[in-house]
């Protein structure tokens, strides 16, 4: 994009948008520009239909029979295959279950068990905290296992990968900056050292095309409530490449992962394939909400989503720097769209107050300490005019100093 676009050119971009009709499939409040889909996606009408059907007909009328008549028991694997198409995973390699944190725990244990002679877990020092907390927890259960961090133990993660490393836990897109890693290259580096790699796709799935199989990835985990719009607390997922299925051993040996869950046997016998990562009874209503969210994606080409994502974020960066650049904002995300996910982060010394002022004016993004204001762009329901209007509000807040209102002051804890 050359030159600073005007409103007419922005509206022309909306008119030519092949995803424009998708916005009507979502329920968005009037007067709100929602740029926080990288924290919690918006609700689609398809989700409400699925929940209504699951609650009023399947649960209320069929009662316990619905485990069979409605196929509740097989939903984790069926939804896993449906989601797998969005992350480049062939059938039978993805299962929807539990939470991201629990799935990290399971998959790290499984990877460590597959490399018993090795004792190092590698992760990013600026990873989303739950990844590090869970990695610390896993290491604490295995004497001699240590956690080595990019940015702490070495500047780059590649420098930490050697013959001691059992598994690498890495985010495909950094939650704070939006920086995108090269999945195929880093996976190759891990395998050359004999290590396994786990990709965190929380800020990737539904935002850009992923090719887990083509990249020869070992494992992946992720959530479904961000760009996939599965709803608050929606179940997470695990991917495991077919070649590893016979070797999966994970410590949460619940009955859903048993080879014969209804035999009620003493002693655990692991099921086959990706089911080995299942644990306990799964949340059916949340699963059905996710089914509604994923059904919409069957109509979407991920390359089109990616093209629009880059165009939206490019436009946002360009307009913010042109209209707000004199007010202390500093770009934290990669400038090259090919190097970032579907979000843009700026640093501002009073970022918390600025974001609170934005939210009061109906532009919803989020804040990440100490100074990051972060904006997520979900191409299915965010348009180019939204970007134009959001930047206009941001410019007004910064130019007038509206963020300095006492209502937006940082709250300090009382000790």
Query: Mind telling me the catalytic residues?
Result: 128, 200, 225-226, 374
Residue 411: partners with Cβ closer than 8 Å, 6 or more residues away: none
Cβ atoms of 146 and 121 within 8 Å: the answer is: yes
Residue with tokens 């997520």: 376
- Find the Cα–Cα–Cα–Cα dihedral 390, 393, 396, 399, rounded to 10°: -40
Q: How far is CA 352 from CA 42, 61, 266, 326, 348, in A?
A: 23, 49, 54, 18, 8
Cβ atoms of 156 and 185 within 8 Å: the answer is: no
Distance of alpha carbon 220 from alpha carbon 244, whole angstroms: 13
Q: In what order do the strands lie in the sheet with 237-240?
A: 94-96, 237-240, 219-222, 196-200, 165-171, 120-124, 146-150
């Amino acid at each position: 994009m050359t030159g600073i676009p005007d409103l007419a050119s922005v509206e022309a971009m909306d008119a030519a948008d092949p995803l424009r009709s998708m916005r009507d499939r979502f329920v968005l409040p009037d007067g709100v520009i929602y740029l926080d889909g990288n924290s919690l996606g918006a609700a689609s009408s398809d989700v409400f239909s699925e929940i209504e059907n699951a609650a009023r007909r399947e649960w209320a009328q069929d009662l316990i029979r619905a485990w069979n008549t409605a196929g509740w028991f097989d939903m984790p694997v069926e939804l896993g295959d449906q989601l797998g198409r969005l992350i480049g995973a062939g059938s039978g390699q993805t299962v929807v279950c539990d939470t991201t944190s629990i799935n990290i725990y399971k998959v790290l244990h499984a990877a460590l068990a597959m490399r018993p002679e090795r004792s190092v877990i590698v992760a990013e020092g600026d990873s989303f905290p739950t990844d590090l907390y869970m990695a610390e927890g896993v290491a604490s259960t295995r004497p001699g296992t240590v956690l080595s961090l990019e940015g702490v133990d070495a500047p780059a993660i590649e420098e930490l990968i050697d013959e001691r490393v059992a598994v690498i836990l890495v985010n495909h897109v950094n939650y704070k900056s939006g920086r995108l890693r090269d999945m195929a290259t880093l996976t190759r580096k891990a395998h050359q050292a004999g290590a396994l790699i786990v990709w965190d796709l929380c800020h990737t799935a539904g935002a850009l095309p992923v090719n887990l199989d083509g990249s020869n990835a070992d494992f992946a985990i992720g959530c479904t409530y961000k760009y996939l719009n599965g709803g608050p607390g929606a179940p997470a997922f695990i991917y495991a490449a077919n070649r590893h299925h016979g070797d999966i051993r994970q410590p949460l040996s619940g009955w859903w992962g048993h080879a014969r869950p209804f035999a009620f046997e003493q002693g655990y016998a692991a099921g086959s394939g990706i089911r080995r990562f299942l644990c306990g009874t799964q949340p059916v209503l949340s699963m059905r909400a996710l089914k509604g969210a994923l059904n919409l994606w069957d109509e979407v080409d991920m390359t089109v989503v990616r093209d629009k994502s880059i165009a939206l974020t490019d436009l946002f960066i360009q307009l913010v720097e042109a209209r707000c650049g004199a007010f202390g904002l500093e770009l934290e995300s990669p400038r090259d769209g090919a190097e970032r996910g579907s979000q843009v982060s700026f640093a501002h010394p009073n970022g918390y107050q600025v974001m609170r002022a934005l939210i009061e004016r109906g532009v919803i993004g989020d804040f990440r300490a100490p100074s990051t204001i972060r904006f997520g762009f979900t191409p299915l329901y965010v348009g180019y005019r939204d970007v134009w209007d959001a930047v206009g509000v941001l410019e007004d807040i910064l130019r007038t100093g509206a963020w300095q209102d006492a209502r937006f002051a940082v709250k300090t804890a009382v000790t």
